[in-house]
Amino acid sequence: MKEIILIGGGGHCKSVIDVIEQEGKFQIIGIVDKPELLGVKVLGYPVIGNDSDLVDLSKKCRYALVTVGQIKSSSLRERLFKLAVKVGLTMPNIISPRAYVSKHAMIGQGTVIMHDALVNANAKIGENCIINSKALIEHDAIIEDFCHIATNAVINGTAIVRQGSFLGSGVITKQGVKVEKNSFIKAGSLVK
């Protein structure tokens, strides 16, 4: 198996660990987090460094994934993603074996598709996105870079979610709607 480093050790990291273990393509060698957490374990995986160690870690490991969550702002996820790419780390897609991604969909690097999510034909998902558990991305929808589509959200056909946006749990977008850049849509909203 290929080795991977996870960047961020909070709650979202735990969910991603579960997906990585079930997918079976990568072996997690450690987590990058705050300096004061060095040596702490997250679901059995040690914190092996912080952001400033990414240059050295990139010499030992080729793959990394940003596992910091995103609610109000994508800025931290975006900064960490760009830093990891700059130091030469490859950002793979992680897709739960319990998710469905159409062979006609396009997924950008560093995106994670969680358990029971569905990505339909001709959907386009950008880089470093979170498509969370049970989210539905319908045909021809576009999710731009650095977005988090939360649990059980429904992005209907031809909808466009602009860069850096967060759509909370249970959000439903009307077909063809455009969500502006860096939007925060609260849980349970109907976007029309």
**Mind giving me the DSSP string for 40-105?**
-EETTEEEEE-GGGHHHHHHH-SEEEE----SS-SHHHHHHHHHHHHTT-B---EE-TTSEE-TT-
Do 22 and 54 lie in one domain? The reply is yes
Bridge-based pairing state of the strands 172-173 and 190-191: parallel
Residue 28 lies in a domain: yes
For residues 6 and 16, what is the distance between their CA atoms, to the nearest angstrom? 9
Tokens 């159409």 found at: 102
pLDDT at residue 109 in the model: 97
Do 50 and 70 lie in one domain? The reply is yes
pLDDT at residue 141 in the model: 98
Do 179 and 107 lie in one domain? The reply is yes
Over the chain (192 residues), the average pLDDT of each successive run of 10 is 96 97 97 95 97 94 96 94 97 98 98 98 98 98 98 98 98 98 97 95
Number of alpha carbons in the 13 Å side-chain half-sphere of residue 45: 25
For residues 16 and 14, what is the distance between their CA atoms, to the nearest angstrom? 5
pLDDT at residue 71 in the model: 86
pTM of the predicted model as reported, rounded to 2 decimal places: 0.96
Which of 47, 68, 86 is the last residue in one of the domains?
86
pLDDT at residue 72 in the model: 87
CATH at 16: 3.40.50.20
Counting residues of the chain whose pLDDT is more than 90, the rounded percentage is: 98
Q: For 49-89, how does the pLDDT look when each residue is reduced to its tens digit (9 = 90+)?
A: 999 999 999 999 999 999 999 988 999 999 999 999 999 99
Which of 20, 55, 86 is the last residue in one of the domains?
86
Instruction: Name the residue type at position 174.
Output: K
The count of structural domains within the chain is 2
For residues 73 and 81, what is the distance between their CA atoms, to the nearest angstrom? 14
Containing structural domain, residue 22: 2-86
